[in-house]
Amino acid sequence: MLMRKDAGRGGPRSPVQIDLALQGGGSHGAFTWGVLDRLLEEPWLKIEAISGTSAGAMNGAVLVSGYMEGGPEGARAALDAYWGRVADAARFSPIQRSPLDRLLNRWSLDTSPGYLMMDLMSRVVSPYSLNPFGHNPISDILEKSIDFAHLGEASIKLFITATNILAALTGSASGGLTIALDALGGTYLQRAAEIGMDPALLHRVAVIGSGTLDSLPHNGAVVTLLAVCGTSHKDSYKDIFIVAIGGALVALAVVIVLGTLVGSF
């Protein structure tokens, strides 16, 4: 991996430039924080670029912002402060492990009443109806943790991508949507306000858009389905493509046209 022979035994390592690709997922993001902290301790590792998704994008942006202010130690301090704020914000969240899970030492939300309720509501009600005042705690945390005004001037390059392309890359509609809205949600809302677009319509288009290319061959559900059914991509993927991707693309086009003509519906 990053091993390199020293010029002499016990001598300093030659600098090595690395690029980092940071995955999404809340617990993965917290784990990645620890990995980044360890990497930043090594003076011979020079981070040239970071690409990230969801929690990975946030880790990357916080690291780059902190690095601008104080180099590797500034980046470590910024990540520590960011995850401290995340922990404080989640302290009184209703989405917690159930008492039974805590008793059995299970680190899962599968039986959490708060999580199950929010998961159900998110499938049938627009987030803008559930959250009419637009409260976004992660947005407040990011504002305190990242110098967005100067992020583009950093020596470390930062790459973040969005919506159906992200869904295609991750093989997950929810993954692509989460990444897009976490990284660009504020920009989307600002642009929607400028052109008079209802945020509910914006969300509807984003949700359908994330479900267009998520079922490419590497999608975990597709791979599992074919394995369970004892068939192969060669024999069955054409039908999956027509139903899961072709139909979704048509639906997306229809919603965009209707939204353009009549607004939110």
Beta bridge partners of 21: 51
Q: Tell me the average pLDDT across 184-203.
A: 69
CA 137 to each of CA 55, 177, 198, 224: distance values in angstroms, whole numbers, following the listed order: 14, 18, 22, 35
Q: Is the pLDDT of residue 41 over 90?
A: yes
Q: In the prediction, which pLDDT does 135 show?
A: 67
Cβ atoms 16, 46 nearer than 8 A:
yes
Cβ atoms 35, 22 nearer than 8 A:
no
Q: In the prediction, which pLDDT does 35 show?
A: 95
More confident residue, 185 or 117: 117
By percentage, how much of the chain surpasses pLDDT 70? 72
Q: What is the reported pTM?
A: 0.59
Cβ atoms 59, 22 nearer than 8 A:
yes
